[in-house]
């Protein structure tokens, strides 16, 4: 928990937490994570996409021993909490410390007790899960999964810096991005602990849950074009107010999504141009973040939204277009990893306790990208009041302690299964 506080102090915004991809803050937290990895006997390295990794071999293992990857991400949204992603990376480090996979040098120089594992352990701190800087989420894990798309190099941040330029400024070589890619045979699986980012566990009064799947997501940037005119001189019937079209669109998106079980849409950014008090907005831009438990229902909702936007904009003599900036299919956690997470959680409960909750994640996670190269499993921690992507985001010390024990036990269960 002290390390969560320490990482929270590494921020681009004084008094708030903001740490985006390829920023000086990203470099600083990678250095801290590397130091902590070294402290528990792991060999740290930063990969070609700026993800920070640490690795520890099992006794008798070598660099070619397949690894179980544990971790999450260290980047944040603007004005973030201190646990989303972060606590999962730190829990992974604690699990490695608890298991002391490689043994430990005792005072006599002899290896002390260790847990024999049939795989290496890697801890990963992914560098861009949120997509805050370039709009495209999961850049770090997509590189690790070998899913990099060269079209992304021309994405720009709010200052017009391209992703390619940002790589160079950070000291990374865009030409070597392929070196971040992992091969399926190198990985036993990817296991991530994360706060729930919703209220289900809090409402149930439970600490931990098995994650069954991660919601599919699509993100769009929508532009509405009207005509800028004098705010005083233009009667209503002559206006083509782009902001009113966008506002009506945001309300329609809420109405459509409310009507569809397990699909949720959010307009999180809305801007009017030229943006003056005395000009009817000639252009408006807004973002749409759409999530669904299943790809098909999510896509059907997008079709309904598109039809509705045609109607709204047509009625107001506006034009609209949408650019898709992110798309990720729903990912189902591997049955074996769900089982070991369930066993891990059960090991923290009294004998005879009911099975832990199984919930689907409405939030996105690096496992979405990693699923193309490894089996994925996730453990959720209770998130009091379900508040996340907000400075009040919280997790209790007790739940984190249980989560670490459960995650360590999950690793042991997986080891037993593969032995």
Nearer to ligand GLV, 84 or 409 (CB): 84
| Smallest separation (angstroms) from Mn ion to the CB of 310 | 32
Cα dihedral: 167, 287, 147, 128 (round 10) = 50
* Binding residue for ligand GLV, selected from 50, 66, 292, 364, defined by CB under 6 A: 364
Helices (H), 77-230: 86-99, 139-144, 163-170, 200-204
Compare residues 156 and 287 and give the one whose CB is closer to ligand GLV. Answer: 287
Residue 167: which of 40, 21, 297 has the closest Cα? Answer: 21
Contacts to ligand GLV from residues 92-131, by CB under 6 A: 130
Question: Which C-beta is closer to ligand GLV: that of 342 or that of 365?
Answer: 365
- State the Cα–Cα distance between residues 339 and 359, nearest whole angstrom: 13
Exactly one of 363, 400, 411, 415 binds ligand GLV (CB under 6 A); that residue is: 363
Q: What values do phi and psi take at 184, rounded to 5?
A: -55, -35
Within 130-149, which residues bind ligand GLV (CB under 6 A)? 130
Q: Is 66 in the site for ligand GLV (CB under 6 A)?
A: no
Structure tokens at 79: 């004005």
CA 133, CA 19: separation in Å to the nearest integer? 9
With CB atoms as reference, the residue minimizing the distance to ligand GLV is: 364
Return the closest-CA partner of residue 167 out of 181, 154, 158. 154
Number of residues engaging Mn ion in binding (CB under 5 A): 2
Binding part of the chain for Mn ion, among 50-58, 79-87, 301-309, 378-386 by CB under 5 A, reads 79-87
Quote the least distance from Cβ 291 to ligand GLV, whole Å. 8
3-state secondary structure (DSSP) of residue 2: helix
User: Whose Cβ is closer to ligand GLV: residue 88's or residue 344's?
Assistant: 88
Residue 282: CA count within 13 A, CB half-sphere: 9
Q: Which residue has the tokens 């002899």?
A: 110
Which residues in 84-103 contact Mn ion (CB under 5 A)?
A: 84-85
Query: By the criterion CB under 6 A, which residues form the site for ligand GLV?
Result: 130, 363-364
């Amino acid at each position: 928990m002290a390390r969560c506080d320490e990482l929270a102090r590494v921020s681009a915004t004084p008094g708030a937490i903001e740490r985006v991809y390829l920023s000086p803050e990203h470099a600083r937290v990678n250095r801290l994570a590397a130091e902590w990895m070294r402290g528990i006997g792991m060999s740290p390295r930063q990969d070609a996409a700026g993800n920070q990794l640490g690795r520890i071999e099992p006794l008798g293992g070598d660099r070619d021993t397949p690894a179980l990857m544990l971790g999450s991400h260290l980047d944040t949204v603007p004005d973030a909490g201190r646990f989303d992603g972060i606590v999962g990376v730190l829990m992974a480090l604690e699990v490695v410390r608890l298991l002391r996979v490689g043994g430990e040098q005792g005072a006599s120089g002899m290896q002390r007790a260790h847990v024999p594992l049939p795989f290496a352990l890697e801890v990963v701190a992914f560098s861009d899960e949120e997509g805050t800087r370039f709009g495209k989420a999961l850049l770090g894990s997509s590189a690790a999964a070998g899913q990099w798309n060269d079209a992304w190099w021309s994405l720009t941040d709010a200052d017009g810096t391209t992703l390619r330029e940002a790589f160079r400024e950070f000291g990374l070589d865009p030409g070597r991005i392929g070196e971040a890619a992992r091969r399926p045979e190198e990985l036993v699986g990817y296991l991530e602990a994360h706060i729930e980012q919703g209220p289900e566990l809090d409402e149930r009064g439970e600490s931990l849950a098995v994650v069954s799947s991660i919601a599919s997501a699509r993100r769009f940037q929508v532009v509405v074009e009207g005509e800028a005119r004098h705010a005083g001189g233009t009667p209503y019937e002559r206006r083509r107010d782009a902001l009113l079209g966008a506002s009506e669109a945001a309300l329609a998106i809420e109405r459509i999504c409310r009507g569809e079980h397990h699909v949720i849409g959010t307009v999180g950014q809305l801007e009017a141009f030229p943006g003056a008090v005395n000009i009817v907005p000639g252009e408006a831009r807004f973002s749409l973040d759409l999530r669904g438990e299943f790809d098909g229902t999510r896509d059907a909702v997008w079709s309904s939204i598109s039809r509705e936007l045609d109607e709204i904009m047509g009625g107001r003599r506006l034009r609209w277009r949408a650019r898709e900036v992110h798309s990720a299919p729903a990912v189902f956690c591997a049955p074996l990893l769900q089982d070991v997470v369930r066993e891990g959680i059960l090991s923290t409960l009294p004998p005879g306790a009911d099975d832990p909750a199984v919930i689907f994640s409405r939030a996105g996670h690096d496992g979405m990208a990693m699923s193309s190269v490894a089996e994925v499993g996730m453990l959720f921690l209770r998130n009091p009041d379900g508040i996340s992507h907000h400075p009040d985001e919280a997790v209790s010390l007790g739940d984190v302690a249980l989560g670490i024990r459960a995650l360590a036990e999950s690793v042991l269960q997986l080891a037993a299964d593969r032995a």
